[in-house]
Structure 1
Amino acid sequence: MSPLHVRAQTGDVAPFVLLPGDPSRAQYVADNFLDDVKTYNTYRSLLGFTGVYKGMPVSVQTTGMGCPSASIVAEELVQLGARVLVRIGTSGAVDPALQAGDLVIAQGAVPLDGTTRQYLEGRPYSAIPSWPVLRSLAAAAESSGERYHVGLIATEDAFYATNPENAREWHRYGVMAFEMEAAAIFLIAKMRGVHAGALVTVSNQIGDKEFIPQEILQRGVHRMVETALEGLLLLEGEV
């Protein structure tokens, strides 16, 4: 029987899965990076596709916005045989050194969300990616020759509740940017015995009045996807 939300069968999902929040971004990955693409899920607009990148089977699966949705999707992907989950998304920066379109590879995610708190029953926890995934993503970014950062991000729930001044206070503790899914994906991967990582593109500094031009963001997203896929190639046969 297929899971409730990712309505696929075992074998439909590749061992390596990219996780964008946005269904249009999943479609973009399928259309621009993968060959021999097959759609395995459309339920609730959680679009899921499996294809081939440079000979390696890869899936791209929409998570929706926020940890509650992402945790459901991650749990069900593991049930379907996924072994490596890599979040690809956008983020708001709190580190003034970050520029629009920059790539950030997560070394850890401060869990400011409610989903991980419920899983953990309130226990303190460090949400970190799997070392082989982090190492491979960083190696792929380095080989590209383009600007990137490796560091701490924060995962939050309430997009419009964020106070720019309070968010920037987290930079004192090493946080570079905020997003909404990574901590839950890292936790579930650790609990279920699979691997996870995350890389995000900076869309703006938190508190900016306007977002960056779409063409700058799209270039950053394209590079992020390419880096993630090249990182997965480095992992093939290792995990």
Structure 2
Amino acid sequence: MSIHIEAKKGEIADTVLMPGDPLRAKWIAETFLEDSYCYNQIRGMLGYTGTFNGQRISVQGSGMGMPSAMIYLHELIKDYGVKKVIRVGSAGSYQKDIQLNDVVLAMAASTTSGINNSRFINSDYSPTANFDLFIKAVNYAQKHGIPIKAGNVLSSDEFYEDNPKAYEHWAKYGVLCVEMEAAGIYTIAAKYNVKALTILTISDSLITGEQLSAEARETSFQQMVEIALAAAMP
């Protein structure tokens, strides 16, 4: 056991999908994995292990924001030997051509957070995706006719910003969308030489104000999870 995960040694696979929402972790396990079992219920942050196409896969909720996600990923790597992690999350669009339910691959993650200030003093570290996982995801999407966007995303420390137009500055520099975990996940993965990728489904648009329901955010991200599982295969 670690501090926040009660799994025994061997109960977590070396490849983990990480949604922020623990109920999305439950939905992924029940929908996509065979013979899945729950290995963690501490703080309600559900974790499951099962098989997909004969490959052991785990799904672990990470909570909202970089501090929470980094705690869970640190323990998954250090205490359970995880080697690959794929975040499957929701995001808010910054661009007119990125609409509800579109899938975005985060090649890199800018951030408003100061998480790396103590690691890289007077410097800017650029957290990026692992190329092998990224290209597998791209190839699967193209083969199956799933439209994707790929590029820079913003990992924000705030969900509700004081200035509702703040996104426009990032959008001008080509940032595709906003979420809250990728930069932290990519940083911890790089620190421990672990492969990481973030795949996002657009749940909101900061341009139009459209948004998916809470239920849809938990259970309607089929294409994103299919891409993630394909990328997770050896």
Q: Aligned partners of 1:69 and 1:213: how far apart in 2?
A: 23
- Work out the percentage of aligned pairs sharing the same amino acid: 34
Shift of 1:207: 5.3
Q: What does 1:58-73 align with in structure 2 at a 5 Å threshold?
A: 58-73=57-72
Partner of 1:40: 39
Q: Aligned partners of 1:69 and 1:22: how far apart in 2?
A: 12
Partner of 1:109: 109
Shift of 1:116: 3.5
Structure 2 portions without partners, runs of 5+: none
Report if aligned partners of 1:10, 1:81 keep a CA contact under 8 Å in 2.
no
Shift of 1:9: 2.5
Q: Structure 1 residue 135 and structure 2 residue 131: aligned?
A: no
Q: Structure 1 residue 194 and structure 2 residue 194: aligned?
A: yes
Question: Using a 3 Å threshold, how does the CA distance of structure 1 residues 168 and 219 change in structure 2: closer, same or farther?
Answer: farther
- Report the TM-score when normalising by structure 2: 0.93
For these two proteins, the number of residue pairs brought into alignment is: 233
Question: Using a 3 Å threshold, how does the CA distance of structure 1 residues 69 and 120 change in structure 2: closer, same or farther?
Answer: farther
Shift of 1:52: 0.2
The RMSD of aligned alpha carbons is: 1.8
Q: What does 1:1-239 align with in structure 2 at a 5 Å threshold?
A: 2-79=1-78, 80-121=80-121, 123-161=123-161, 163-206=163-206, 208-212=208-212, 221-233=221-233, 236=234
Q: Aligned partners of 1:46 and 1:218: how far apart in 2?
A: 14
Does the residue aligned with 1:175 lie in a helix, a strand or coil? coil
Report if aligned partners of 2:91, 2:177 keep a CA contact under 8 Å in 1.
yes
1:169-225, CA deviations, whole angstroms, 9 ceiling, x for partnerless residues?
211111000000000000000001111000000012115444236787677511111
1:129-160, CA deviations, whole angstroms, 9 ceiling, x for partnerless residues?
11111111111211220221111101011101
Q: Aligned partners of 1:176 and 1:138: how far apart in 2?
A: 17
Report if aligned partners of 1:101, 1:219 keep a CA contact under 8 Å in 2.
no
Shift of 1:81: 1.0
Report if aligned partners of 1:94, 1:178 keep a CA contact under 8 Å in 2.
yes
Q: Give the aligned residue type for 2:97.
A: A
Does the residue aligned with 1:51 lie in a helix, a strand or coil? strand
Structure 1 portions without partners, runs of 5+: none
Report if aligned partners of 2:153, 2:175 keep a CA contact under 8 Å in 1.
yes
Question: Using a 3 Å threshold, how does the CA distance of structure 1 residues 69 and 27 change in structure 2: closer, same or farther?
Answer: same
Q: Aligned partners of 2:215 and 2:8: how far apart in 1?
A: 37
Shift of 1:50: 0.4
Q: Give the aligned residue type for 2:33.
A: L
Q: Which moved more, 1:164-173 or 1:184-193?
A: 164-173
Q: Hey, which of these two has a bigger chunk of helix by percent? A: 1
Q: Aligned partners of 1:228 and 1:164: how far apart in 2?
A: 31
